[in-house]
Amino acid sequence: MVQPSDIQAHVVFMVDSDTEEPWFPMPLGEKHDDWRENWAGECARAMLLLHGERPKRRNVKKLRDWLVDFSRLFSSFPAHYAYLFAPEPGKPPHQAFAVVSAIEGDRETELRTMVRGNAEELSHPFAPEAFPGGRLGEGMRAVNRWHDREAGPMISVRYGWRVEESGVDVVFYVVGHEVDFITAHLADFDAYARTLYLKEL
């Protein structure tokens, strides 16, 4: 088997879950335009059915077109995998991301770096904590709050794992300025994070 350290780790592994609604994979990258159209149509039907609505052609098209535009906003986002969390009917889903990288450095130091992210000046003390019970093994989690000059108050929930047997570090995170929404769904994010696993490509 090719080792992750030999090439880009995300070319060897993807971060997957066998949990379905209200979580949906979202395409990243401009090269996925055809896939994005198909994905958006299937995703629109699933979201409408999830919330008890008949997937009428007009409603599917409206939501499909919106999902295509929404996913294109993140087409060049600095992540390897993206997901949508859509728990409420009639409200925009929230995006989440994952990054896979080859192992480097000390485990504790790297995990703390992963779960802090690039937030420079936090408005609350940095408080990483152990995150047990997931399919990726014991990891670390932190809820970070800071103030962005343009976006205002921001919050992120970040999870980090070192998967020694696969030679990779994994980060999964939810970030945005919808502080109340993200805070209210911390248990949902924890539950989904525990379902994530590495799948060889």
Tokens 């990258």 sit at which residue? 29
Has this prediction a pTM greater than 0.85? yes
| H or E, element range at 180 | helix 179-184
Judging by DSSP bridges, how do beta strands 94-102 and 168-176 pair with one another? antiparallel
Average per-residue pLDDT for the chain:
87
Going by the DSSP 8-state scheme, the letter that residue 88 receives in this structure is: S
Residue 4 has pLDDT above 60, yes or no: no
CA angle 56, 59, 61 (to 5 degrees): 105
9-18, 82-91, 92-101: which is most confident: 92-101
pLDDT-based confidence at residue 42 (cuts at 50, 70, 90): confident
Asked which of 56-65, 99-108, 149-158 is least confident by mean pLDDT, the reply is 56-65
Q: Does position 19 have pLDDT exceeding 90, yes or no?
A: no
6-10, 39-43, 129-133: segment of lowest average pLDDT: 6-10
pLDDT higher than threshold 70 for residue 3: no
Q: What is the mean pLDDT of residues 43-68?
A: 81
**Span between the terminal Cα atoms of the chain, in Å:** 11
Please write down the HEC assignment for all residues of 7-56. Answer: CCHHHHEEEECCCCCCEEEECCCHHHHHHHHHHHHHHHHHHHHHCCCCCC
Which pLDDT does position 90 carry in this prediction?
67
pLDDT digits (tens, 9 = 90+) for 159-198: 999 999 999 999 999 999 999 999 999 999 999 999 999 9
pLDDT for the residue numbered 48: 82
Q: Are strands 137-148 and 168-176 parallel, antiparallel or unpaired?
A: unpaired
* Interior/surface letters 112-129, b for 16+ CB within 10 angstroms, e for the rest: ebbbbbebeebeeeeebe
| Lowest-confidence segment of 13-22, 44-53, 107-116 by average pLDDT | 44-53
Contact 21, 50 (CB under 8 A): yes
Span 92-137, pLDDT tens digits: 789 999 999 999 899 999 999 999 998 888 999 999 999 999 999 9
